[in-house]
Chain A
Amino acid sequence: MKPMVRRLFYLQKKVLMFQVVFIVMSVTFGDQFLANDGLFALIIPTIVYMAVIFPEQLDESAHYGWVLNSLPATRREIVDAKYLSALLLYVVIVLCVTISHYVFVLLGAIQNQVENLLNGMVSSFLIVGILVGVSIPITIKMAYSKGRIVNIILFITIFNVVNFIKPFLSESISGNIRWLLVWLVIGLLVGSRQFSMKEYLKKEF
């Protein structure tokens, strides 16, 4: 499992390097919206989503499935690594963005400090969970190129919905509803993993 996650991280790193400028600019020069809602509800999920989808694109263009499934690893490990690396990546990005945000605040480069960190993290987890939970099985079932349109629609829809309900996400989520939503997204991820596993186990290369 470890080499599989490491492989995904290595490939994701290629995308993240392109996004460093984007991350720094967002964190440094973001306005009130970016600081309060956008940082967690838009920036982090965008980075995670792009980084998660990039290896799928690379794998398909190289037909890497042949290599991957010829290596000493099981198909279960291949699927699990997709989810695990996405979640680990989410944690790493949240840490990086949050730390750099507070560093810039301390340096006086940012005036608008994030007000409710926990709400922000929950918001970003919910969005990342939905994006990952839907896009991974779609990519496994349809292959990246065929699932690309669905993924783009999903991406745009989620962010429009988030923009629409962002006050609800970052301000009005009371404790119980917040955790209920978290559990619902965890449920979605578990179901998504089951579906992906079933599809990947019967996949032929």
Chain B
Amino acid sequence: MQTFHTDLLCIGAGLAGERVAIEAAAAGFDVICLSLVPARRSHSSAAQGGMQAALGNCAMGEGDCPDVHFEDTVKGSDWGCDQEVARLFVDSAPVAMRQLAAWGVPWNRVVPGKSTYFKGGKLFEKEEKKDKEGLITARAFGGTAKWRTCYTSDGTGHTVLYTMDNRAVQLGVDVHDKTEVLSLIHDGENCLGAVARCLKTGALRAYLARATLIATGGFGRIYRESTNAVINDGGGLIIALDTGLVPLGNMEAVQFHPTGIVPTDILVTEGCRGDGGTLLDKDMHRFMPDYEPEKAELASRDVVSRWMTHHMRQGKGVPSPYGDHLWLDIRHLGAQHLATKLREVDEICKNFLGIDPLESPIPVRPTQHYSMGGVRTNKDGAAYGLKGLFSAGEAACWDMHGFNRLGGNSLAETVVAGMIVGAKMVEFLQGHQVSYPTNVVADAAKLQQERIQRLIARSDGSENVYMVRNAMFDALMQGAGIFRNGSDLQMCLDTLQEVHQRARQIGLRSNGLGANPELAMALRLPGMVRLALCVAYGALQRTESRGSHAREDYPERNDRDWLVRTLATWQPDSELPTLNYEPASQVWHIPPGERGYGGGKIISADSKKQ
């Protein structure tokens, strides 16, 4: 088996992984990034809309500052976020954007003079200041008080990731792509690296590193319908959970995006609504103002998704062979706007739906989109439970998003967290030595080797991997969607436990040689089911509604009992995760209060004291 030694091992070469890698490489450390796909195909490249930073350059962002951004973020999170982290984030975000500008991101810039914009289907006028000419401009996004989302057309993730990877190439960061990590190597105290499978040859490899970062992005692919890339199956979370030591935070907090297209579930950006697009029902009636007079389409995602689902349940959805949907209308924005600011959207509509968004509205419905939960870390990005293990990006629960992340805040998080966590990892590397006991490494590798052999030999059974996966999809749809309730969740949990059993009895139907895709799926599926169990179990236990976690049987936000973060660990050989809880935040710059949208009752934290 091939073994690689390095100072820093980044599992994941998306924005978060590469940003950390760059920090370490700039400090002179050896870095290897691992990725399922070439770095630039990481899912960060799919982000269209933009990233939030309180630069306050554009007219509609005037007066913006980190404080306002902080307030939006905390409200957006429904007070589930770690406020210390959110603070750190909003303060550093502007620097991160400027640094990206220096590294080559072609941000859209302020063009002085009068121009028009749409809000809620109506035309308004604004005037950009002359003295801001050429500075980074911003657009509106949901749940924000100011226009704060920096963008490059609707290819923001793409340009930022390409710039990041350029920088990584410049600094000599090694990326081993088409490599899938199967497990962490650890001695119970220190993380020592990872065992990986080469997706070109199928060979196993060991990577030994003084520090390891998990930056594997979201795990949306445990759901059947997700806007995520097909590679977003939570590999990083699985390896953390499988240590039995590292907890995952808030796994029940799963975000559904209002505008996934029907039928292919491809996302059209929130920028559509930010730029003035509206949501219509089957009568072509704009319904959001009925529910949210103030913010309308631009309330936070959890709120809009819920109202959409609610509205469809009222029979206002447009029927289609793929289930009900609603319309997203951007016809009024005009050809010029679509051609410059919403190009990808334009292409997606034409290529995948065969419609012209100038002429017909776009069929959309809420679709799984983002995982607030992830590897729980402290504010330095260090994972709980193992020394030398860090996490950043969507894979992490650094926790600035709480129970709902704002559009534009996660792409920004990857870069800002990458910067901050990267610096902390450099500090760590400067003072940290480990030894790699050969038996620990050999055992970890042997474990995976045996799994592979058993799958090929069908030693454990002959369950069909795709059928088992479909069973997992069905179970989650049943109970862990947008609206949740106790009995559905219980059913979902029971089914998932059965599915988990079956997932341990998978046998391959193909020969498993080389970069065999069936083997890859078989290796990761049991872990995916465990993640699904963490989601369902956490959701069942959390008897309140907060952000994206909406319990029909517990509709109020319960600050008295649930101002906490769920921590899920998986003890070896157990059937369910072990759940623990910690306070949502150590500091309260903004005490829990009203979000200003979404409605809903709150059980106040003060009631506990009485």
A, B from the same assembly: no
Which residues of A come within 8 Å of B, CB atoms? none
